[in-house]
């Protein structure tokens, strides 16, 4: 297996001058008690867990530290709470950082990061559409996949689809 995407391309491995521990230390100093946990996943990804109150500030700091590309923003429904996961990439250092925050299932707004990473606007709209999570400060928070008249949010564990689709008995 080669580490090059194409002949002459830069290796697809983290640069040796990227120090995840140094970044984690800097973020810990800046975020204080809002940084709840920091680990590395064994694949060079720095994983940070923040309080919901510290999520926006952590995202801002990551952007300031060179995280210039959003990989993804998604949610997991654990039945009693949601986990927000944001993964960013720094093109210059090839650093990957995953930021997580837990939040209650209902009634809490998450601060938008759509002004930090352009693509986050689309992914926040998808999270709103499928999980029902609202993003405070989002410039255009509306459904992106389902019709506006759709009831509920289908990726929530408590979602009940009231549409009855008859299927033939094959067996």
Q: Is residue 46 part of a domain?
A: yes
Q: What CATH number did the domain enclosing 128 receive?
A: 3.30.460.80
pTM of the model: 0.83
Instruction: Give the burial string for 80-118 (b: 16+ CB within 10 Å, else e).
Output: eebebbbbbbbeebebbbbbbbbbebeeeebbbbbebbe
CB 83 within 8 A of CB 73: no
Q: Is residue 161 part of a domain?
A: no
Q: Is residue 6 part of a domain?
A: no
In the prediction, which pLDDT does 80 show?
Answer: 95
The three state secondary structure string of the chain is CCCECCCCCCECCCCCCCCHHHHHHHHHHHHHHHEEEEEECCCCEEEEEECHHHHHHHHHHHHHCCCCEEEEEEEEECCCCEEEEEEEEECCCCEEEEEEEEECCCCCEEECCCCCCCCHHHHHHHHHHHHCCEEECCCCCCCCCCCCCCCCCCCCCCCCCCCCCCCCCCC
Q: Is residue 2 part of a domain?
A: no
Q: Is residue 150 part of a domain?
A: no
Q: What are phi and psi of 127, to 5 degrees?
A: -65, -40
In the prediction, which pLDDT does 18 show?
Answer: 61
| pLDDT tens digit sequence for 90-120 | 988 888 999 999 999 988 999 999 999 999 9
Output the tens digit of pLDDT for each of the chain's 171 residues: 344 445 554 444 445 456 677 888 998 999 999 999 999 887 889 999 999 999 999 999 999 988 999 999 999 999 999 999 999 999 888 889 999 999 999 889 999 999 999 999 999 999 999 999 999 999 999 999 999 999 999 999 999 888 777 777 776
In the prediction, which pLDDT does 1 show?
Answer: 39
Q: Is residue 132 part of a domain?
A: yes
Range of the domain at 62: 20-136
In the prediction, which pLDDT does 37 show?
Answer: 95
Number of separate domains in the chain: 1
């Amino acid at each position: 297996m080669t580490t090059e995407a194409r002949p002459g391309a830069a290796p697809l491995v983290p640069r040796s001058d990227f120090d995840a521990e140094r970044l984690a230390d800097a973020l810990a100093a800046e975020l204080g008690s809002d940084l709840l946990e920091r680990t590395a996943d064994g694949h060079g990804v720095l994983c940070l867990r923040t309080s919901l109150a510290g999520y926006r500030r952590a995202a801002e700091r990551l952007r300031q530290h060179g995280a210039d590309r959003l990989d993804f923003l998604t949610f997991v429904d654990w039945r009693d709470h949601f986990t927000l996961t944001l993964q960013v990439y720094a093109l210059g250092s090839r650093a990957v950082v995953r930021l997580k925050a837990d939040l209650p299932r209902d009634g809490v707004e998450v601060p938008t990061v759509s002004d930090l990473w352009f693509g986050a606007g689309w992914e926040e709209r998808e999270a709103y559409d499928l999980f029902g999570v609202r993003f405070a400060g989002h410039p255009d928070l509306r459904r992106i996949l389902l019709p506006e008249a759709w009831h509920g949010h289908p990726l929530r564990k408590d979602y009940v689809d009231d549409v009855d689709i008859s299927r033939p008995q094959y067996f």
